[in-house]
Structure 1
Amino acid sequence: MTGDGGRRIPALRAGRRPAGLALLGWLKDGMAPRLCRISGGPGAGKSHLLDWLAEGFSGKDAPADRRVHAVLPAAGVSTRGAAWALAHQLGLTARTPEDLVTAVDEEGRPVVLCVPRLDEAADPAALVAELLDPLLRSEHVRLIAEAAEGGPAATAFTAVPAPAVLDLDLPQWTDRARFEAWCATEQADPAQYPSPGRALGRPAADPRRPESAADLLRDVRLLAHADPLAVTTALDGRSGMVPTAWDAAGPALVATADPAVRAAVLRTRLFGFDEEAAELLGQLPAPWQGAWAMWPDSSRGWPGPVASLAVGSGPYAGQLLLADPGGVIRTVDTASGRPLARLPLAAEARPLRGLTVAHGGDAVLLDAGGALAPAAAEPGGPRGAMAALGGAGLGLSAVAAVADLPEDALAVGDETGAVHWYRSGERWSEELHQGPVTALAGTLSGGIPVLVSGGFDGSVRLWGPGANQPLELDRRGREISAVALADGALGMTVAAAWSDGLVRVHRSAAGRPLELRLGSPVWALGVAEDLLVLGTSDGVAAIRL
C-alpha cells in the first residue's frame, strides 16, 4: 500500500480498511473529539489496528496531519514507566507523571499519542487517572487508546466527555468480501465475521505479567537484562537502595535497549548507596563506566544540583569547581570526587549563567543578569577582557576561557546568537546560532584557541577565532544545556548536552559519537583528562569513556 509522497504503508488485513480509513479521518479532523477509543471484544483486532497505525504513521516522514508522535504499548506497564517512555519519545524530561503533564502543557505543540493494550496495563484505571486523562486536559493533546467498553480504563476517562468510539464488533468497520478472502488465505472461519481473532480460533490474550521483584533483586545484574518497563512495574512501591536508584535513573533506563548501558547507568546511580551492587553491575562491558558520583543523601555526600562547573588550573589544578543554583562554588578532587573546600567569593553568591577558569587559575563568573565578574577579590584573571566584553552591551548568555593561554583572553556568547573572543586587546565576533548562545567552552588545539558553542537552536558549532570558519558538529531539535571541549593525546573531545538529558560525546579518534543519559537534565559539562563530568539537576557524576 502506498501513501502520500510514495510512502509505503503496511497492509491492513482482514478487511479492516474501513476501520483504518475512519481512524485516519479522525486524525485529520481538527474538530473531532480529542479522545478516540478503540473498542471491541476479545479477538476483534484492536491491537492489530493500532499497531498498523503506529507502524505506518509515526516517525518524521509521516504526513503532519496524520502523524502519531508517541506510542505506548501499555501491557504490564505502570504509570511511572509510562511517563518515562512517553517523555523519551516526545523529547521531554520527566521524572514523574506530573512532570510530563507540565512539560507537554508548557511546550504547547500538538501531540498525538497512541496507547495500544491499555486494558492490559498494570493498573489501567490509575494509568488513565494519573497520566492519560491529565494529558488530555491540554487542548493540544489528542489520544487514541485501546479500551473496551465498560472496562476500568474506558470508565476512568473524564477529560473528554464524549469521545469518538470505534467499536470493531460493528460490521461497518470490516469489508465482508475482503474478510472472506483473507479467511480463505489464512484457513480461517468466515462465519466469525467481523472478528479476525475468533476466525483464527485464537484465545483471548492474557495481560503481560511483570517480573517478580524478589527474583530481580536477588542479583542486581538481572535488572539490566530485563525489560525496563516490566522492572519499573515490579519495583513500584518497593523500598531500598536499588529501587530508589532505579527510580532516579528510570528515564534513562527506558531510553536504551542495551543491557550493558543500563547497567552502567544504574551503577553510577548506586555510588554512595550500595557499593556491592555497583560492583556487580560494573562487570557488564559498556562503552562507558562511572568513575564516581555524588548524589543527595549518599555516603559520599553532596547537597544537590550542579548548575555550572569548570575544570581547575593553576592553584586549582586537579580540581573541579562546582556551582550550585544559588552560585555557591565548591571544589572537589577530579580523580575521586572527594569534596575539598568552598570557594571564597569576592561578593555574595548569586545565581550564575556560567563559570570558567582563565589563565593562572582565576575563576570568572557570569551571573544570571548577564554580568561578568571575577570570583575572587584579589587582582588577577582576564580583567581587560571582562571589561571589554562586559561593557559592550552584548546581552551576555555564556562564558568560556582557555586556561592554557598566558595572556588576557576570554570568550562570551550573547542573546543574538553571536560568540565573541577577546585576546590581547583584539576582539573577533561570529554569528553562530539562531537565538541565544546557551553554552560555551574552549581549549587549545595545536597552539590555536578553539571554541565550541551550543545554542537555543539545538546546534553545536566549532570555531577557531581568526583562523577557521565555523563548523556545525551536531544538531537536534532541543535546546543545548551544556558543552565541553578538550584536546589530548587521543585527539579532540567535544561533549554536548541537550535539554531532554541526552549527552553526545564526539571524539576525533572514534567514529560515531557516544550517547549517554543518566536520567536527569544535564546542566553542566567538563572534560578533565579521561573523565567526562556531568553536573545534573540532582548531583554530579564523572564517567570514564
Structure 2
Amino acid sequence: MTAPALGAWPTATGSAARHAPALLDWAWRQDADCPRVCLLTGGRRTGKSHLMAWLLAGSDSDPRTIVHATVPAKGQTTATMAWELGRQLGYGPLPPDELVDRVRADPRPVRLLVPDLHQAGRGPADLPAADPRTVYDELLAPLLALTHVRTAIEAGHLPLPNLDDALVLDFGPQPDSPGLHGVPPHRNHATTPPDIPAGRTPVAATASAAGPDTGRTVDWRNLSHDEREEALDRALAAGTAAQLLRDPGFLVHGSAAAITATLADPRIAAPEKLRTVWNRAAPQLSSDGPADAERGALLHLAALGTDRRLSEFLRPLAQANTWTARWNHPGRRTSAMAVLPAAGTPNGRVAAADPIGRIHLLDATGGAVVGRLSIDPKIRPVQLAPAGPACLMALEADGTLHAVPVDGSAMAPAGADFLALHHNATGLARKGDRVAAVSADGDRVVVGDAHGRIHQWSLTDPHTGPRTSHLHRNAVTALACLLLRESGVTLVITGSLDGTVRLWDSASGEAMPAPVERRNCLPTALALADTAAGPVLAVAWADRRLHLWQVFEGRMTAVPLLTEADALALTTNGLLHLGGQHGSTALQLDLDRLWS
C-alpha cells in the first residue's frame, strides 16, 4: 500500500518535523508488525504537543489516518477522560468500565490521541486520582488491550508499564529556560487560598453569588478561565475546599474535573445531597460545550426532586437558559409517554407507562400523578400513541400492538382494534412485518415495521387498509406524525437503525431529498408538535443528546441530557416530557429564543 504523501499535510517545524515521518508511518499502517501504541517522550517545550497537533490537523486528509477521539489529559481523572472519550466516539459520556465494554463490542477500528498524559490527575494529592498513572491503569490500559484500538500518547517522562513494543519518539530533555521547572498545574501544589480579586460585584439574583452558608460572595461569572479552573485546586491546598463546595455559584462556574475529583474523596465535607446531584450532572458539565446558563440549567435539573434548596437557588440562572426543567422525578422509571389532549388546556395530560406495565396519568405542568388507566397487567408498553381523544395505541417490545381505552371507556374505537389485530397477525406470520414503532395524531395512525416500512391508517376508514411505503433499509426505531389541521397535511418523521431521521410526504410516500439528520448513533425517540414557532421536532439520541428542530426553517439546537431518553412527548406550548430507566422529567422550551 502507498503511504500518504507527507507534503499534503500541514508543515511541521523544529523537533516535530524530525519525528513527523515516523508518526505518519505509524498512523496509517495497519499491519501486524506496526505497534499499536506510539509514545511521545521528552521534556517540556520540546515539540511533543506540536507534533500531536500536526497529526490531528492532517488526519482527515486520508481515511487511513483519521483520528476518532482526542482528549487532552491535563487535569483530567479517569472518569472525566472516559466521559469525553465516550462523547467523541459517539456513545455519550460513559463510566470507564462501560466505555471499555462499548469499544470492545464495536468492531470498528479506533485511533486515539492522548496529549499530556503526564499532566493528568486531579483532586487531593494523596489519592490515586491525582496520579497520572491512574488514568493509564484504569482507562488507557484496558482500551489498549483491545486489538482494534491504536493510541498515540504524549507521556513526557512518565513511565508506563507493558509498552515494550511501543514506537517511542524521544524529543530529548527540556531546553534550559528559567521558569519552566515548576510542578505541573492541577496537582494541588498551591500553598495559598484562591486569589479572588477584590471589588467583584455579587449578583444575588443568579447563581453567581455564594450560598448563605459560605459567609462570602464571589461573582464567578467575571473571573478569568484560569481563576475558575484553579480555584478548587488552591482551596484543597489551603484546606478550604469544603467552603467552596457550599457555593452554588462555584458549582456552576468552577472546574467540573476538579469538583468531580474532590467530591470522590469522602474525607471532604460537602452538603448532604451534593454528591448525588453532582454525580448526575457531572458527565455533561465536564464538556466544554455548555455555556454558563446551560450549566446552571443542567445542575438545576439534577437537583430537582433531590435537593430542594439547591434547585431553588439555581432556578433564576436556569430560567435564563433557552430551556428550563419544570419537574424531575429521578426514581419514576418510564418506558413510554404520550400527550393526551384536554379541552381548554395547552398541555393536557401525559400518559406514562412504567416497566411493569402500569400507565399513570400525569399533570403535564407539575408532573403529579392524577390518575391511572385500566390495562391488562400482562401488557408492557414500550411506546404509546394517542389514537383519537379516547384511545392509546400501546406497543410492546415483541411488536404486539394494543388499543387501550382512556378515561374508563368500555371499548377502544373499532378502527384502532382493527389495525392492531391486522399488524399482530402479519407480525406473527412474517418476522420482518413485526411492528417496531407507532405514532398517531387525530384519526391518523402510522406504524413502522422491522423492514423499514411505514403503514398509514385512517381510524375512520380502517377497512380500506393502510397506505404502505418502504422508507428505510433498516428497522424503524422511532416515529412521529403530526396532522396540520389547517392544510390537512400529515407530517411523518421516522428514525431508523441506520442513524437517519427522515421527513416524508405522507401523500406520496416519498422522502425529502436528504435526511433531516444522519449520525453515527441510534435515534431512540421522536416527538412532534405544532407550536407558536411552527412544527417542532424533538429527537432523542442514544448518546444522551437531544436535538430540537424548527421543522420548516430547518434550524436545530442541541441539548445535553443527563440520562438516556427512551420516550418523548411534546405539548403545543413547548413543554417537552422525557422518560427512561432513570426517571422522568419535563423541560420548558423557550420557543422565542431556542433557535436564536
Q: 1:14 to 1:456 in 2, by over 3 A?
A: same
Task: Tell me whether 320-329 or 255-264 shows the greater mean CA deviation.
Answer: 320-329
Q: Distance in 1 between matches of 2:568 and 2:521?
A: 17
Q: Give secondary structure in 1 for the equivalent of 2:389.
A: helix
**Alignment partner, residue 575 of structure 2:** 531
Distance in 1 (alpha carbons) for counterparts of 2:483 and 2:92: 34
Kindly indicate whether the alpha-carbon contact (under 8 Å) linking 2:382 and 2:395 is maintained by their aligned counterparts in 1. yes
Match of 2:155 among 147, 160, 165: 147
Question: Measured at CA, do residues 511 and 398 of structure 1 come closer, stay the same or move farther in structure 2, by a change above 3 Å?
Answer: closer
Q: Which residue of 2 aligns with 1:389?
A: 423
After superposing the two structures, state which structure 1 stretch, 87-96 or 225-234, moved more.
225-234
Report if aligned partners of 1:249, 1:266 keep a CA contact under 8 Å in 2: yes
Counterpart position of 2:104 = 105
Given the alignment of the two structures, is residue 45 of structure 1 paired with residue 78 of structure 2, yes or no? no
Q: For residue 33 of structure 1, what is the aligned residue in structure 2?
A: 35
Report the secondary structure of 2:402's partner residue: strand
1:127 corresponding residue in structure 2: 135
Deviations 1:261-283 (A, max 9, x none): 12111111110122332233333
Of residues 227, 245, 248 in structure 2, which corresponds to 1:217?
A: 245
Q: Is the 8 A contact 2:14 2:47 kept in 1?
A: no
Indicate yes or no: 2:285 matched with 1:253.
Answer: yes
8 Å CA contact retained: 1:353, 1:398: no
Who is 1:371 aligned against?
400
Q: Secondary structure at the match of 1:373?
A: strand
- Cα offset, 1:436, TM superposition: 0.6
Whichever residue aligns with residue 483 of structure 1, its letter is L
Q: Secondary structure at the match of 1:520?
A: coil
Query: Is the contact made by 1:308 and 1:353 (CA closer than 8 Å) also made in structure 2?
Result: yes
Asked whether the equivalents of residues 577 and 585 of structure 2 are also in contact (C-alpha less than 8 Å), the reply is yes
2:545 match: 502
Q: Match for residue 207 of structure 1? A: 184
Q: State the distance in 2 between where 1:270 and 1:327 align.
A: 28
Partner of 1:291: 326
8 Å CA contact 1:417, 1:431 repeated in 2: yes
Deviation at 1:289, TM superposition (A): 1.1
Distance 1:53 1:201, change over 3 A: farther
Determine whether 1:14 maps to 2:14: yes
Counterpart code for 1:53: L
Are the counterparts in 1 of residues 404 and 412 from structure 2 also a CA contact under 8 Å? no
Q: What's the CA shift string for 1:178-197, capped at 9, x where partnerless?
A: xxxxxxxxxxxxxxxxx5x5
Q: From the superposition, tell whether residues 8 and 270 of structure 1 become closer, same or farther in structure 2 (CA, over 3 Å).
A: farther
The CA RMSD over aligned residues, in Å, is 2.7
Once the two structures are superposed, the pairs formed by residues 466-485 of structure 1 within 5 Å of their partners are: 466=507, 469-471=510-512, 472-485=515-528
> Contact conserved, 1:121 with 1:207, CA < 8 A, in 2?
no
For 1:274 and 1:483, locate their aligned partners in 2 and report how far apart those are by CA, in whole Å: 30
SS of equivalent residue, structure 2 residue 566: strand
After superposition, the Cα gap between the structure-2 partners of 1:329 and 1:139, relative to the gap in structure 1 and judged at 3 Å, is farther
Deviations 1:410-449 (A, max 9, x none): 2110111111111113321122222110001222213333
d(CA) in 2 for partners of 1:5 and 1:165? 22
Offset of 1:103 from its aligned partner? 1.1
Q: Tell me what 2:146 maps to.
A: 138
43-52 or 287-296, larger mean C-alpha shift: 43-52
Displacement, 1:541?
A: 1.3
Shift of 1:484: 0.4
The 8 Å contact of residues 385 and 392 in structure 2, kept in 1 or not, is answered as yes
Match of 2:310 among 277, 281, 285: 277
Shift of 1:237: 3.0
Residues 116-195 of structure 1 correspond to what in structure 2 (within 5 A)?
116-122=115-121, 123-149=131-157, 151=158, 154-155=159-160, 157-158=161-162, 162-169=165-172
* 1:541 pairs with 2:585: yes
Instruction: Quote how far apart the aligned CAs of 1:480 are.
Output: 1.0
Asked whether the 8 Å contact 1:211–1:230 carries over to 2, the reply is no
Q: Give SS of 1:360's match.
A: coil
* Alignment correspondent of 2:478: 439
Q: Structure 1 161/220 Cα, relative in aligned 2: closer, same or farther at 3 Å?
A: same
- Give the length in aligned residue pairs: 497
Secondary structure of the 2:516 match is: strand
Q: Deviations over 1:105-126 (max 9, x none)?
A: 1122111111111111112121
Whether 1:411 and 2:453 are equivalent positions in the alignment is no
Shift of 1:327: 3.2
Q: C-alpha deviations, 1:443-469, integer Å up to 9, x for none?
A: 221333322211111222223422574
**How many Å separate the matches in 1 of 2:133 and 2:497?**
39
CA contact (8 A) 1:458 1:475 kept: yes
Q: Tell me the equivalent position of 1:189.
A: none
* Gap regions ≥5 residues in structure 1: 170-194, 297-301
Percent identity reads 32
TM-score by length of 2: 0.77
| Secondary structure of 1:147's aligned partner | strand
Per mean C-alpha deviation after superposition, the further-off stretch among 463-472 and 352-361 is: 463-472
Counterpart-to-counterpart distance in 1, 2:175 and 2:522: 50
Q: Give 3-state SS (helix, strand or coil) of 2:180's partner.
A: coil
Partner of 1:461: 502
SS at match of 1:146: strand
Q: Which residue identity does 1:130 align to in structure 2?
A: E
Structure 1 position 132, deviation (Å): 0.9
Change in CA separation of 1:262 and 1:537 when aligned onto 2, cut-off 3 Å? farther
Shift of 1:202: 5.8
The TM-score, its normalising length taken from structure 1, stands at: 0.84
**CA 531–219 in structure 1, closer or farther in 2 if over 3 Å, else same:** same
Deviation at 1:99, TM superposition (A): 1.1
Paired residue for 2:531?
Answer: 488
State whether residues 93 and 103 of structure 1, in contact with CA within 8 Å, keep that contact through their aligned partners in structure 2. no
Tell me the distance in 2 between the aligned counterparts of 1:101 and 1:507.
36
Note the alpha carbon deviations across 1:265-312, whole angstroms, 9 max, x for none: 11111101223322333333212111111112xxxxx3x3x2221112
Paired AA for residue 22 in structure 1: A
In the alignment, the residues of structure 1 paired with residue 552 and residue 326 of structure 2 have an alpha-carbon distance, to the nearest angstrom, of: 21
SS at match of 1:55: helix
Report the CA distance shift for 1:10/1:490 in structure 2 as closer, same or farther (over 3 A): same
Return the alpha-carbon distance in structure 1 between the equivalents of residues 231 and 492 of structure 2.
49
The aligned counterpart of 2:385 is 356
Partner of 2:490: 449
SS of residue matched to 2:423: helix
CA distance 1:267–1:509, shift in 2 (3 Å): farther
